[in-house]
Homo-oligomer: A and B are copies of this chain.
Amino acid sequence: MEISELGEFGLIDRLTAGLKPVNSSTVKGVGDDCAILRNRETDILVTTDLLLEGVHFDLTYVPLKHLGYKSAIVNFSDVYAMNGTPRQITVSLGISKRFTVEHIEELFAGIRLACEIYGVDLVGGDTTSSRQGLVISITCIGEAPADKVVSRSGAKDTDLICVSGDLGAAYMGLQLLEREKIASAGQKDFIPKFEGKEYLVERQLKPEARRDIIEELAKAGIVPTAMMDVSDGLSSELLHICKQSNVGCRVYEDRIPIDYQTAIMAEELGMNLVTAALNGGEDYELLFTVPLHYHEQIEKLPDVKLIGHITKADLGCAMITRDGTEIPLRAQGWNPLAAE
């Protein structure tokens, strides 16, 4: 069905049909000039992400439902990275003429699925036409008790540096998808070769936000001193934390968690594995620091790795390689505004 048959309000009615807020802080969702929220006990967290076709996603190999899911997840991840809980999102879409109502329903199905799984209410947005590609702008509102909010600036000398999951897989997934796109050369019946690399594809196309880590930390009574999510690459994020906390760091190459599929793919592509793990973006894992005395407790947490420690600022930020060499960390992660 052509979107023009429904018009803006008809499309919105269709996309938001049956939405039922699950959070008590959502007083009123879609349908007025503003959404109304009520949050009298805790602090409010706000984050926003803009995703543009051709820059952030390629619809040749990204299914619309996955794209919707991921668009929501990347925002939830930012709220978890403050040790908060995402509660509401607004979704703005710019839609070009090649999309039908069914396409946008697919995209929204992904967004709504992410909201359902993570307990988030879709409370508003804006829907308009776009002259060129698809535009997705999502703002997420979350909450956290004021004394539990974790920023990037609290890391202290001797703190332990921890990271959840593994790194570099989403980046390798992107390389794989791009390789198969080229191999397909537009053939309709082309079957891409993903065998044995399913994990990489999933990490790129359908990432999850680490709510489980936030819950584990809370259960263990640990409030990190600093935290952020790994969206631009470990190096870049570590440098942010160190800069904003006015500290330095040492991370150990042999401690960086890497999945075996990531390693195989790097080998196949002749890429340096550690570089991929340090600078590949979109992992949406949590990077955080905790005081030294949590050492034992952290070691017991499933899916959390200790990768290094914070130092005084004048020692700078470096990785210690397997052979003991110190290499300064540099932000070589994804920079959407860098020269090509």
The reply on A282 being an interface residue by CB < 8 A is no
The reply on A16 being an interface residue by CB < 8 A is no
Contacts of A125 in B (CB 8 A): 48
A228 and B90 CA atoms in complex are apart in Å by: 19
Return the chain B residue nearest A340 by Cβ. B4
Q: Which of B39, B130, B227 makes the CB contact (< 8 A) with A52?
A: B130
Inter-chain contact B33/A82, CB cutoff 8 Å: yes
Contacts of A34 in B (CB 8 A): 45-47, 78-79, 81-82, 84, 142
Return the chain B residue nearest A226 by Cβ. B32
Contacts of A124 in B (CB 8 A): 46-48
The reply on A192 being an interface residue by CB < 8 A is no
The reply on A218 being an interface residue by CB < 8 A is no
CB distance from A14 to the nearest CB of B (A): 12
A44-B39 CB under 8 A given contacts A33-B228, A78-B33, A337-B128: yes
Inter-chain contact A38/B44, CB cutoff 8 Å: yes
Copies, count: 2
Inter-chain contact A46/B54, CB cutoff 8 Å: no
Contacts of A131 in B (CB 8 A): 52-55, 132-133
A137-B48 CB under 8 A given contacts A131-B55, A337-B3, A337-B6: yes
A52 and B4 CA atoms in complex are apart in Å by: 18
Contacts of A50 in B (CB 8 A): 92-94, 126, 128, 135, 137
Return the chain B residue nearest A3 by Cβ. B337
A4-B128 CB under 8 A given contacts A48-B139, A50-B92, A82-B32: no
Inter-chain contact A337/B95, CB cutoff 8 Å: yes
Inter-chain contact B337/A33, CB cutoff 8 Å: no
Contacts of A137 in B (CB 8 A): 48, 50, 92, 135, 137
A339-B2 CB under 8 A given contacts A50-B94, A93-B50, A130-B55: yes
Q: Which 4 A/B pairs are nearest by Cβ-Cβ distance?
A: A137-B137, A4-B339, A34-B45, A50-B92
Besides A2-B339, A7-B337, A34-B84, 10 new A-B residue pairs in contact (Cβ under 8 A), listed by A number: A27-B43, A35-B46, A36-B45, A39-B44, A47-B90, A48-B126, A50-B135, A54-B131, A129-B336, A131-B132
